[in-house]
């Protein structure tokens, strides 16, 4: 019991936490509400800060088998199509940060983590176990499920995502709030596109009230495309969105450059997803209290404008694994240290992501200033040494 970690949630954050904690010597019981481990969404970008952790966990070869290493990131004007800035990646990222910058399908990353967790004898995975609440005692935590059953452990990690029940019970701060943005996502084989629309790198299109990101996944064989616009969609905000025909998107995007319109017209089906979030983490106590800690989106949901949602969950998990390796300190003291190490960085990334959303969708003088800055200082503005050079761990100094 004194070494048992309970984890609510079997997404990227939950499986990463299970792997890190098992590597730290813990016995882990993970509970996922769905009947299978699956990731909704399409692709994600993994900066060197996250890839470095996955390499330390022994997943280098598994990553290389499914991910793609883009040679560069190019920023373009969505309205006129002109190039605004370029950030070389590939060899430059490896040399500068000690790890590559990768793009990967969410399902591939989840499967990679699942297989790594299944190789850990001290991890038990439980499907179809929706969490209801918990009760914290002096020496343990009781996790309660919707069917009336319960489990006991030394500590509980809430990795159950944006709509976390563990967070609701721990903080009672209400549901997430709408960001006022909608993401339309698509992923398709590159062979389904004409040659001029196929990509090897990342392209970001910036336009008034919208932006588009496109990059390869599945070893470069598929193209992931995300269109973000201002607005909202009807339906269950917790569900993966309904299919959207391309004809419905063209009036939404309005006047855009011909190459970008061509891309949108060649994709026959999209899925919509209203983006929700929370204010930035304001204190360590919002990430850990007593024997309970929050991980990933349950702790610090991050808008997708810095490409760090999965990266932050992986960093969280790595630090949790390290605090569990410590030879001294109570459970409460270890989780307090985890939160103290993580909250300022996570808050900074939440704030920067939200700020990027404003900059990406800028109009008028702000848009002109953004474009001029990118043309003049593109590489310096697009590179993020404070972000990609960060090494998550218990010895990491605050970078606030």
State how far the Cα of 350 lies from the Cα of 287, in Å rounded to an integer.
14
Pick the catalytic residue from 101, 215, 305, 388: 215
State how far the Cα of 224 lies from the Cα of 305, in Å rounded to an integer.
15
Q: Is 215 one of the catalytic residues? A: yes
Active centre residues (catalytic): 215
């Amino acid at each position: 019991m004194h070494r048992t970690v309970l984890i609510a949630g079997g997404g990227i954050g939950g499986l990463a936490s299970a792997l890190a904690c098992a590597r730290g010597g813990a016995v882990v019981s993970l509970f996922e509400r769905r009947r299978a481990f699956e990731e909704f969404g399409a692709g994600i970008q993994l900066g060197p800060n996250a890839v470095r952790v996955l390499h330390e966990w022994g997943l280098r070869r598994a990553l290389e088998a499914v991910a793609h290493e883009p040679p560069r990131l190019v920023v373009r004007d969505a309205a006129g199509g002109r190039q605004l800035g370029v950030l070389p990646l590939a060899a430059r990222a490896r040399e500068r940060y000690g790890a590559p910058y990768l793009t990967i399908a969410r399902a591939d990353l989840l499967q990679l983590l699942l297989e790594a967790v299944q190789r850990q004898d001290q991890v038990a995975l439980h499907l179809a176990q929706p969490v209801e609440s918990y009760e914290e005692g002096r020496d343990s935590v009781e996790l309660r499920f919707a069917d009336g059953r319960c489990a006991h452990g030394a500590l509980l990690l809430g990795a159950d995502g944006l709509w976390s029940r563990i967070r609701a019970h721990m903080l009672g701060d209400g549901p997430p709030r709408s960001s006022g943005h909608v993401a339309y996502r698509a992923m398709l084989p590159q062979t389904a596109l004409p040659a001029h629309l196929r990509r090897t790198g990342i392209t970001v299109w910036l336009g008034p009230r919208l932006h588009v990101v496109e990059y390869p996944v599945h070893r470069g064989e598929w193209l992931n495309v995300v269109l973000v616009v201002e607005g909202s969609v009807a339906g269950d905000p917790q569900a993966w969105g309904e299919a959207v025909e391309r004809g419905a998107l063209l009036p939404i995007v309005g006047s855009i450059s011909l190459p970008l319109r061509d891309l949108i017209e060649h994709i026959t089906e999209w899925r919509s997803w209203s983006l929700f979030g929370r204010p930035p983490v304001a204190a360590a106590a919002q990430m850990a209290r007593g024997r309970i800690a929050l991980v990933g989106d349950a702790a610090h949901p991050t808008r997708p404008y810095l490409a760090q949602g999965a990266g932050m969950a992986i960093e969280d998990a790595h630090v949790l694994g390290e605090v569990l390796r410590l030879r001294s300190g109570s459970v409460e003291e270890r989780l307090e240290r985890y939160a103290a190490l993580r909250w300022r960085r996570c808050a900074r990334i939440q704030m920067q992501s939200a700020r990027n959303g404003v900059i990406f969708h800028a109009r008028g003088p702000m848009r002109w200033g953004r474009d001029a800055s990118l043309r003049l200082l593109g590489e310096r503005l697009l590179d993020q040494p404070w972000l990609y050079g960060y090494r998550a761990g218990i010895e990491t100094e605050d970078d606030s």
